Amino acid sequence: MASTVHARIPLSLLEAIRRIDTPEDQVDAEYVQELRNKRLGLSDTVYTQIRRYSEATKRGQKIPFAEASGLGTLIGRRPDSDELFSTAGKILARDIYDSIATPKRRMMGFMPGFIARPMALKELQSIAVNFFGGTLVHSGSFLQLQIPESVTVNGAPKSAGCAFYESAFRELLQLLVKGGEQVDHVSCVQRNEGVCEWRAEWRTSH
């Protein structure tokens, strides 16, 4: 079991809770106050933790695995867990993408595929290792993302927690190469298949 995870992992899970629990119309202060007492996403504890994870991200500090998987379990118990896992994945992908140096992002956006795709592949491979604690392999017309120690895999029944990594992977493919239409969760730790693995289509050019 990995002892630590990248701070952006728990940060994105909590940030999803905060965003979804924040009412769109915040004019009614009294109503917000009432909600604050009821809903976790608006509690001071959540704000404090978000700050803590943001600081840890800046300093490159890791977070205990158990702490991040606890958030996975917390989300898994909520009726809106599907939306939360998928939103958290998108937040994670966007944050990771934004952390890539701007000139590099621009190059990947404007260069022809035969230059941009190998760059994006290299980027995805380092993201898999550094942020997901996994590996990404390019095999023929597919990418295989393997995550042996997922913080959300046991967060919900029927592998619903795996939507967190899946949506992050999908979103990264969209941001980097306008891809991600076809991503399948082909093996899962929750089904005793050893590793959580996703397969995505990967064209080598255009």
Least separation in angstroms between residue 151's CB and Zn ion is 11
Residue for token pair 């919900």:
156
Residue type present at position 112: P
Distance CA 146, CA 87 (A): 21
**Residue 6 to residue 189: CA distance in whole angstroms:** 20
Sites for Zn ion among residues 182-201 (CB under 5 A): 188, 196
Which phi and psi angles does 107 have, rounded to 5°?
-60, -45
Q: Are 54 and 66 in contact (CB under 8 A)?
A: no
Q: How far is the CB of 166 from Zn ion (least distance, A)?
A: 8
Nearer to Zn ion, 166 or 171 (CB): 166
Rounded to whole angstroms, the Cα distance separating 199 from 55 reads 33
3-state helix, strand, coil in the chain (%, to 5): 60, 15, 30
Nearest distance in Å: CB 100, Zn ion:
26
Please report where in the chains the tokens 């390019």 appear, as a residue: 138
Helix (H, G, I), strand (E, B) or coil at 121: helix
* Closer CB to Zn ion, 52 or 199, in the complex: 199
Is residue 11 part of the contact set for Zn ion (CB under 5 A)? no
CB closer to Zn ion, 173 vs 196: 196
Closer Cβ to Zn ion, 36 or 185, answer by number: 185
Among residue numbers 136 through 165, which ones bind Zn ion (CB under 5 A)? 153, 159, 162
Kindly identify the residues of this chain, within the stretch 43-72, that bind Zn ion according to CB under 5 A: none
Structure-token pair, residue 11: 């940060």
Q: How far is the CB of 147 from Zn ion (least distance, A)?
A: 8
Q: Which range in 34-42, 43-51, 103-111, 181-189 contacts Zn ion by CB under 5 A?
A: 181-189
Identity of the residue, 5 or 153, whose beta carbon is nearer to Zn ion in the bound complex: 153
- Helix residue ranges, H only, the chain: 8-21, 29-38, 44-59, 65-76, 81-98, 102-110, 113-130, 163-177
Residue 190 beta carbon to Zn ion: minimum distance, rounded to whole angstroms: 6
- Written as six digits, the tokens of 2 are 């990995």
Nearer to Zn ion, 53 or 85 (CB): 85
Q: How far is the CB of 126 from Zn ion (least distance, A)?
A: 22
Chain residues in the site for Zn ion (CB under 5 A): 153, 159, 162, 188, 196
